[in-house]
């Protein structure tokens, strides 16, 4: 099997459907380590460049003004060997009035000592929309270190809808750091869902800065940890402009010897802004567990089902 086929198999493991990578109507990009294995551009995307670097790739994507791209763009980043480093630089500009959704799968199925760093900058133009959904699979050994960093700028009336999901397999070490800045009437929604097991070490920082009047944000974290896994979720929202509205919502479930911390930080410098938060850390709901066990699942299996329900 060649690299491309192996990558497609890994893509499937991360929850991707390989069909979309072959669909001529969908833009896509497949990267193994620092090698570009496949790339397709479609109408509505003005620039779609991928450049191989010594340790990774640099991707530039710019949409056409006013163009609404219906079909998502599928991105597949991975490292197939057990060891390796991958640095992904992402530079995305969503032109005024245009819209696009990127669906990324990052897959390190054999990770023993893998480091993946993503450094992204997203600029969302006036009245533009970006959907950015990232699903990760780090294999079963906990040998990955993953550092996704994103800075997002949303211009007047623009919208961001982003999610990060890592539910299957082990996490390893995860350091998420996303920051969204919203201008007038811009809307930002940031969601992270992670299930940590074994010795996983999870730190999530999501920040929304509401700089424009009537800007809105929602920061949501759903984290479950078991065994000896550790998690810390920091949700920050700054209401800097009149009538801006922000909410931080964090729920963590702990079992076994796992540890969870939640730290919502809300700050308001305009008395007409309003930022709220809620954080809850608790054990798994017994009633839910028993309901599932009464269908014949073991306690361990039932825990996974209940967590899956929460992380959906």
Partner 1 sequence: MLEIKGLKLTLNGHPILRGINLEVKKGEIHTILGLNGAGKSSLAYCLMGSEGYKPQEGKIRFLGNDITNLSISQRARRGLTLAWQESARFEGLLAREYLSLGMKNREDSKRVTHALELVALNPKEFLNRAVNKTLSGGERKRIELASVIAMRPKLAILDEPDSGIDMLSLDDILNVIKSMRKEGSTIFLITHREEMASISDRVSLMCDGLIIKTGRPKEEMDYFKLHCKPCPTHKFPGKLKE
Q: Which residues bind partner 1 (CB under 8 A)?
A: 286-288, 290-299, 302, 305-306, 308-312
For partner 1, the closer CB: 69 or 253: 253
Instruction: For residues 198 and 231, give the distance between their C-alpha atoms in angstroms, rounded to a whole number.
Output: 12
CB-based contact 110:140 (threshold 8 Å): no
209/221 with CB nearer partner 1: 221
State the Cα–Cα distance between residues 191 and 164, nearest whole angstrom.
6
Residues 6+ apart with CB under 8 A from 243: 213, 214, 272, 273
Least distance to partner 1, CB of residue 288, Å = 5
Q: For residue 270, what are the contacts with CB-CB under 8 A and spacing of at least 6? A: 239, 240, 241, 242, 244
Pick the closer one to partner 1 by CB: 30 or 292: 292
Residue recorded with tokens 């819209």: 99
Cβ 134 to partner 1 shortest distance, Å:
21
Block residue for tokens 């991975």: 78
Nearer to partner 1, 267 or 283 (CB): 283
User: Cβ 300 to partner 1, closest distance in Å?
Assistant: 10
In the complex, minimum distance from the CB of residue 145 to partner 1, in angstroms, rounded to a whole number: 30
| Spatial separation of the C-alpha atoms in residues 223 and 116, rounded to whole Å | 21
Instruction: Report in angstroms how near the CB of residue 109 gets to partner 1 at its nearest.
Output: 23
CB 76 within 8 A of CB 62: no
For partner 1, the closer of residues 52 and 301 by Cβ is: 301
**How far apart are CB 293 and partner 1 at their closest, in Å?**
4
Sign of CA dihedral 290, 295, 299, 302: negative
Residue 128 or 310: which CB sits closer to partner 1?
Answer: 310
Nearer to partner 1, 267 or 291 (CB): 291
Give me the least distance between CB of 287 and partner 1, in Å please: 5
Give the separation between CA 165 and CA 51, rounded to whole angstroms: 26
Computed from CA positions of residues 41, 44, 47, 51, in that sequence, does the dihedral angle turn out positive or negative?
A: negative
> Looking up tokens 């969601």, which residue turns up?
191
Q: Are strands 56-63 and 45-52 parallel, antiparallel or unpaired?
A: antiparallel
* SS3 (DSSP) at 97: coil
Q: What are phi and psi of 238, to 5 degrees?
A: -115, 120
Q: How far is the CB of 282 from partner 1 (least distance, A)?
A: 14
Residue among 202, 205, 225 nearest 307 (CA): 225
Distances (CA, A) of 274 to 11, 141, 245, 266, 271: 41, 43, 5, 9, 8
Of the two residues 19 and 287, which places its CB atom closer to partner 1 in the complex?
287
Residue closer to partner 1 by CB (options 20, 305) is 305
Residue 104 C-beta: closest distance to partner 1, Å: 24
């Amino acid at each position: 099997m060649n690299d491309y086929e192996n990558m497609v198999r890994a893509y499937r493991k991360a929850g991707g459907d390989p069909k979309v990578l072959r669909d001529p109507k969908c833009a896509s990009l497949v990267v193994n380590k620092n090698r570009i294995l496949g790339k397709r551009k479609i109408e509505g995307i003005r620039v779609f460049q991928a450049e191989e670097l010594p340790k990774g790739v640099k991707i530039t994507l710019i949409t056409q003004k006013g163009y609404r791209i219906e079909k998502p763009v599928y991105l597949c980043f991975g490292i197939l060997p057990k060891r390796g480093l991958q640095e992904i630089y992402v530079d995305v500009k969503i032109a005024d009035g245009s819209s696009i959704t990127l669906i990324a799968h990052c897959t390190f199925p054999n990770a023993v000592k893998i480091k993946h760093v993503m450094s992204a900058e997203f600029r969302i133009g006036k009245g533009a929309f970006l959907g950015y959904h990232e699903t990760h699979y780090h294999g079963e050994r906990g040998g990955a270190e993953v550092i996704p960093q994103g800075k997002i700028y949303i211009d007047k009336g623009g919208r961001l809808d982003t999610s990060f999901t890592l539910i299957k397999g082990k996490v390893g070490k995860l350091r998420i750091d996303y920051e969204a800045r919203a201008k007038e009437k811009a809307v930002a929604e940031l969601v992270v869902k992670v299930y940590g097991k074994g010795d996983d070490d999870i730190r999530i920082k999501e920040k929304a800065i509401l700089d424009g009047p009537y800007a809105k944000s929602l920061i949501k974290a759903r984290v479950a940890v078991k065994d000896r896994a550790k998690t810390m979720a920091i949700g920050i929202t700054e209401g800097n402009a009149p009538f801006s509205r922000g909410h931080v919502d964090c729920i963590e479930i702990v079992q076994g010897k796992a540890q969870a911390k939640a730290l919502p930080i809300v700050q308001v410098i305009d008395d007409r802004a309003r930022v709220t938060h809620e954080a809850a850390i608790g054990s798994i709901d017994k009633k839910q567990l028993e309901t599932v066990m009464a269908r014949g699942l073991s306690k361990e299996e039932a825990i996974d089902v209940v967590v899956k329900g929460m992380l959906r």
